[in-house]
């Protein structure tokens, strides 16, 4: 008989005003979301005079960002969540007057053109200094850092792509290498047909075709994701 697929139970709605829920939220952050690994290693980097990038901050780190770095905006690249790591971050931001913006992106898919231009508009509209983060600070934060350096700091993509590197724990040999492949596809196209990144995205970018080309190459290589066990 065919196996039944296990359906995920919806995450319970937590009320941080209830002691038991607060304890559960804390467990979510520390154990469920691997916050214990980030207690001492924050993968925190200042990439311009107004922007930082990091892994998921806990409440104490949010407080430090406000006090020590004057952070006014935090961009959460994981999206809103009912889980403790998000609820505690949101509460901490409210307590210190930081604007929390949920802007979800993905590390194992080609970005949509809508997401790319929404990121451009976001960087033009937020209050700085700012910090953006995903879970590890490596891949989604890397993607957005490339876009930030290009759109806000006016770096060419060939230089901005440095934000996707091992220095920030980004490993291009895994499925997250699709982000490198996306930018390299533009660079290869522009070397033959000079065009700005924005115009390429608007006029020439075929998201599904780029994804398909990456997956075709990826299947030939070592499956690093199984080894690294990264989100």
Q: What is the pLDDT along the chain (231 residues), one digit of tens a residue?
A: 455 656 667 788 898 999 999 999 999 888 998 888 887 788 999 999 999 999 999 999 999 999 999 999 999 999 999 999 999 999 999 999 999 999 999 999 999 999 999 999 999 999 999 999 999 999 999 999 999 999 999 999 999 999 999 999 999 889 999 999 999 999 999 999 999 999 999 999 999 999 999 999 887 655 544 444 445
C-alpha dihedral, 221 to 143 to 115 to 160, nearest 10°:
-120
pLDDT digits (tens, 9 = 90+) for 136-146: 999 999 999 99
In a domain, 4, yes or no: no
In a domain, 138, yes or no: yes
In a domain, 45, yes or no: yes
Cis peptide before 129 (omega within 30 of 0): yes
3-state secondary structure 53-95: EECCCCHHHHHHHHHHHCCCEEEECCCCCCCHHHHHHHHHHHH
In a domain, 98, yes or no: yes
In a domain, 9, yes or no: no
In a domain, 75, yes or no: yes
In a domain, 102, yes or no: yes
Domain hosting 52: range is: 19-224
Residue 74 maps to which CATH number?
3.90.190.10
Question: Can you give the pTM of this predicted structure?
Answer: 0.89
Domain count, the chain: 1
In a domain, 86, yes or no: yes
Contact 207, 112 (CB under 8 A): yes
The label of the residue with tokens 């190459």 reads: 217
What is the side-by-side strand order in the sheet with 130-133?
A: 45-46, 51-54, 130-133, 73-76, 99-102
């Amino acid at each position: 008989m065919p196996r039944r697929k296990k359906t995920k139970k919806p995450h319970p709605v937590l009320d941080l005003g209830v002691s038991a829920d607060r304890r559960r939220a804390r467990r979510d952050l520390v154990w469920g979301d691997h916050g214990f690994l980030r207690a001492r290693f924050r993968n925190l980097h200042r990439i311009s005079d107004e922007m930082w990038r990091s892994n998921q901050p806990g409440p104490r780190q949010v407080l430090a960002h406000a006090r020590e770095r004057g952070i006014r905006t935090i961009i959460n690249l994981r999206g809103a969540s009912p889980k403790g790591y998000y609820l505690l971050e949101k509460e901490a931001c409210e307590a210190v007057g930081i604007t929390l913006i949920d802007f979800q992106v993905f590390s194992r898919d080609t970005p949509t053109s809508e997401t790319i231009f929404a990121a451009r508009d976001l960087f033009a509209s937020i209050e700085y200094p700012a910090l953006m983060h995903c879970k590890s600070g490596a891949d989604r934060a890397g993607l957005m850092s490339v876009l930030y350096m290009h759109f806000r700091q006016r770096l060419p993509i060939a230089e901005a792509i440095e934000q996707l590197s091992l220095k920030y724990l980004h490993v291009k040999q895994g499925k997250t290498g699709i982000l490198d492949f996306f930018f390299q596809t533009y660079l290869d196209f522009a070397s033959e047909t000079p065009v700005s990144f924005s115009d390429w995205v608007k006029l020439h970018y075929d998201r599904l075709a780029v994804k398909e080309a990456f997956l075709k190459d990826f299947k030939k290589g070592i499956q690093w994701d199984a080894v690294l066990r990264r989100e």
